[in-house]
Structure 1
Amino acid sequence: MIVSSRKEDHIRLAAEQQDQPASYRGFDDIEILHHALAGIDRAQVDTSVTVGPWTWRAPFYVTGMTGGTETAMTINRALARATAATGIPMASGSIGIALDYPETSPSFTVIREENPDGIVLANIGAGRSLDDAKRVVDLLSADGLQLHLNSVQETVMPEGSRDFSAWLGLVEQIASGLDVPIIVKEVGFGLSAKTLTELKNAGVTIADVAGSGGTDFAKIENDRRSGGHDDYSYLNGFGSSAVQCLLDARLGHHVGPNADPNFTVLASGGVRHPLDVVKSVAMGARAVGVAGTFLKVALSEGADAMTEVLEIWMERVGQLQAMMGAATPGALEYTDILVRGRSREFADLRGLDVRALARRSQEAS
């Protein structure tokens, strides 16, 4: 099956990218100013966060990755077992393939089979209908839906769509017609403040900016091409990083002190370790999605290793909160952060003064 072959290519190329560091990672532009006497007792720290109707044990989740092949089933089984053991939410990969080729459904339904009581999110592309959205939610008995925007990927994909004109209207239909919450996300090219505003006006209440710096689907799709003159390598690294998106979201009042309390922003894209989680939350994200970093563990080491990694991440996030004096993840928004490099230039060009972010602890005291 050609589609399954494409999915296998995605897994292989995404895994290979984990061993090829991105040329630019926005998280490296963010420095948390250390205050040596700010720390509190780790026992006083609560790492849980509220996202929509859910309470998550920690401010991170396993975001959508794969499905549709035997390899994908192995990965999803390992991830589902690990998230069931730890209580961390998990999103599936795009289930559109299972709507078109029902024989691939077991590679997705294995998630709910292995994690019958946890928070599971289905995943589908924004070009799909409300009926399709309902079908994928039903297939997984899902608690919510990830609805992904991937126009850059579709543009480079040899068999991709080139018509994105109906997407916003379809998003609005799904947001109003689905019985479970939706999280609209990019696939690694970022959501601008303008896009976040459009989503909020369309009835969306949760969005994951999903910036660049992690798995690069433009590069993946270009690597699947025949080469020669048919080349899109100039789009490698295209888009805005999660850090840049969170800065832009602040400009649009989607995060920060003047943010709408009914609109929740998540972040993902190139999250390598718990400090990147903490940096994201300090910049305004409610929680953080992790994909590629977990993919490598699930693919090569299996469920037990993945469970250990999730447990370590939860503990490390709590330890970092204690070190920074943040009793809750929300309190990280009062930590002092320094914005440097390309992210600082991005903020300057967008008209955002980031100097105030370096003095936030004074406001909290």
Structure 2
Amino acid sequence: MSSEGAAARKDDHLRLAAGQQEGGPRRNAFDDVAFVHHALAGIDAAGVDLGVEVAGAHWPLPFYINAMTGGSARTAQVNRDLAVAARETGVAIASGSMSVALDDPAALPSFQVIRDENPGGFVMANIGVERSADDARRAVAALGADALQVHLNSMQETVMPEGSRAFSSWPASLEAILDAAEVPVIVKEVGFGLSRRTLHTLAALGVAWADVSGTGGTDFVRVENDRRAAGDLDYLVGWGQSAVASLIDAPRDPGASPALLGSGGVRTPLDVARALALGARGVGVSGSFLAVVLDGGAEALIERITTWREHLTALLAVLGAHDPAALQACDVVVTGGTAQFAGARGIDVTPLARRSDALPLPGRSRS
């Protein structure tokens, strides 16, 4: 594909992904998860620490700007705004797929702006799993990246008009990238979820971090089908499993799964808390933040992230969680399609609703 064609494809992706945000947030699997309210469980918001440890670094907030875009003049401006917001709020940020820049150096500045505007922040480069070990090193070096996202997107490739149909080499390619990378590697889906079997496989390959990136947010079947002349693969819209289902489906045995991040359809601070309660160490946000940036630029996103920080702190306080990890002791009830999915996969979700039974009850202080 020519450089002009690649840039046009990136602009198409941005336009079509943004179009899926029109009309505001839609119901998704996060709505199948409800916290049990315990009226005397609350703590002081001043005692809540939102910091988390991810990929060998301390993040001041447990949510981050996930992979979105890059590769054209239009997407360069979006990345600049995202990077400014990351710099001003301290959130980690991931670039979009850098494949176009690895093939055409003229596209590289549209990604490097992320580091240029955010010199001290935690930045993740992003490449496809089919790229070479040398490409992995080049992508990390280009951004001075602190970590490398490697994305899996077989369904997107299947629907993409110019996509690949050859996937058998991916495990070996991933192993080569892992051997070559000098920064932590985070393997992620692009919105179709990571199954228990996939997470077992990733752990066996030596992957330490994975982002389950499930359905409910940007649907790349819709994006790529809208780019097809015939639009004939619309029946695949909705393929995959949600972030919620993926987190519930994840292996629980130590060493059987990478440490998990959660993304896909995160709309509010409550969704962040839900993902953290189900085992995510951090929570990625793409479409929700993209809509804000496209409407109001960096300043609007700074305001939104600041609001999310305040709201998430308040939620943890009312739930009695001093930090994000403590949410995994909070009671959550799982219903709807997610509960049906869990049942079909042989997973009993009822213990999630009684986790606080193991905690001591608050009582009158006695001298």
Q: In the alignment, residue 151 of structure 1 is paired with which amino acid?
A: S
Q: Does 1:200 align with 2:195?
A: no
Match of 1:188 in 2: 191
Match of 2:314 in 1: 319
Which of the numbers 293, 316, 320 marks the counterpart of 1:298? 293
Identity %: 52
Q: Does 1:10 align with 2:5?
A: no
Match of 1:270 in 2: 265
SS at match of 2:91: coil
Give the conservation status (yes or no) of the 8 Å contact 1:52–1:264.
no
Match of 1:240 in 2: 241
Match of 2:363 in 1: none
Any idea what the Cα deviations from partners look like across 1:205-229, whole Å, max 9, x if unmatched?
Answer: 00000000000001100001112xx
SS at match of 1:147: strand
SS at match of 1:302: helix
The 1-side partners of 2:73 and 2:31 are apart by: 36
Please show how residues 1-365 of structure 1 align to structure 2 within 5 Å: 1-19=4-22, 25-227=28-230, 231-249=232-250, 252-253=251-252, 258-260=253-255, 263-365=258-360
Give the conservation status (yes or no) of the 8 Å contact 1:74–1:299.
no
Which has the higher mean CA deviation after the structures are superposed, 120-129 or 174-183?
174-183
Length, aligned pairs only: 357
Any idea what the Cα deviations from partners look like across 1:41-84, whole Å, max 9, x if unmatched?
Answer: 00111110111201111111111000001111111000100101
The 2-side partners of 1:293 and 1:110 are apart by: 21
The 2-side partners of 1:129 and 1:79 are apart by: 28
Any idea what the Cα deviations from partners look like across 1:192-250, whole Å, max 9, x if unmatched?
Answer: 011011111111100000000000001100001112xx50001101100001101100x
Q: In the alignment, residue 223 of structure 1 is paired with which amino acid?
A: D
Structure 1's 169 and 76: CA in aligned 2 closer, same or farther, altered over 3 A?
A: same
Q: Which runs of 5+ in 2 are unaligned?
A: 361-367
Q: In the alignment, residue 47 of structure 1 is paired with which amino acid?
A: L
Give the conservation status (yes or no) of the 8 Å contact 1:22–1:214.
no
SS at match of 2:75: helix
> Displacement, 1:86?
1.1
Give the conservation status (yes or no) of the 8 Å contact 1:22–1:213.
no
Any idea what the Cα deviations from partners look like across 1:311-345, whole Å, max 9, x if unmatched?
Answer: 11112111110010000111100111000010000
Q: In the alignment, residue 9 of structure 1 is paired with which amino acid?
A: D
The 2-side partners of 1:57 and 1:114 are apart by: 19
SS at match of 2:37: coil
SS at match of 1:301: helix
Q: In the alignment, residue 168 of structure 1 is paired with which amino acid?
A: P
The 2-side partners of 1:276 and 1:243 are apart by: 10
Q: In the alignment, residue 308 of structure 1 is paired with which amino acid?
A: E
Q: In the alignment, residue 307 of structure 1 is paired with which amino acid?
A: I
Runs of 4+ that moved beyond 2 A: 20-24, 258-263
Q: In the alignment, residue 284 of structure 1 is paired with which amino acid?
A: G
> Displacement, 1:20?
5.1
The 1-side partners of 2:25 and 2:157 are apart by: 21
SS at match of 1:214: coil
> Displacement, 1:263?
3.2
Structure 1's 44 and 23: CA in aligned 2 closer, same or farther, altered over 3 A?
A: closer
The 2-side partners of 1:14 and 1:260 are apart by: 35
> Displacement, 1:259?
3.9
Give the conservation status (yes or no) of the 8 Å contact 2:11–2:72.
yes
- Report the TM-score when normalising by structure 2: 0.95
Q: Which runs of 5+ in 1 are unaligned?
A: none
Q: In the alignment, residue 102 of structure 2 is paired with which amino acid?
A: L
The 2-side partners of 1:259 and 1:237 are apart by: 31
Q: In the alignment, residue 140 of structure 1 is paired with which amino acid?
A: L
